[in-house]
Amino acid sequence: MKIAVVTGSTRGIGSAIADALEKAQWKVFTSGTREKPDISNYIKCDISVPEDRLALLDTIVSEEGRIDLLVNNAGVAPFERLDVLETTLESFEQLIKINLEGTFFMCQLFANQMVKQVELGATSKPGRIINISSISSYTSSVNRGEYCVSKAGISMVTKLFADRLADYGIGVFEIQPGIILTDMTSAVKDKYERLISDGLTPIKRMGKPEDVAECVLAIANGHLDFCTGQAINADGGFHLRRL
């Protein structure tokens, strides 16, 4: 049985990813900042805290001896949406620390473990890393600029680690979800459905967490191993430029 960890997996997209991997016969370690949720193989971890990141890896490796897949899904939105002319330093630093710094050093930590496994011949297949970013990585939202900046950074993190780890056969990928119906977007569901109906996306519906999970499965199952560094758009076609 292959071993995966999905950060930010107590709800929404992360939960759907964990469920899909488990159904595909992966052993999945779930992770988040909640104290004691009723979730199997749960390890509390704030990815912005170095000690938490290390404890997460150490726990998995001590129990299983290896890690085959890291899904960096954990992230936060601004507590308050403010125009970029009013963005606070506190909010900017918080999002960069969690969304970008946390993701970068999770990649670094788990990549070193995966490299060690390759060098020792400890696994039959090298590991894989998947970073969940957002269409906000390339789309301007002037009322949450710090979020956009943090997600744009994840795109470069993916490229850097894909480049560095290619010699070891370790694939690194980015998935850019679009407008996905979760508890985080439920308050603006009507607004987004109107925009989609008016042509915002070629596919005329909001995405589901399971749509993102299917992209993760394709990577996890090795179907995209020649595509390292690739960004996959799980967005209903939002990325298309249309006249």
Residue 164 phi, psi (nearest 5): -65, -35
Decide if 74 contacts 15 (C-beta within 8 A). no
As annotated, the active-site residues are 147
Radius of gyration of the chain (CA): 18
Between strands 42-44 and 27-32, the pairing is parallel
Q: What angle, 0 to 180 degrees and rounded to 10, lies between the N-to-C axes of helices 103-120 and 50-64?
A: 30
Interatomic CA distance for residues 54 and 141, integer angstroms: 34
* Residue that the structure tokens 């997460």 belong to: 56
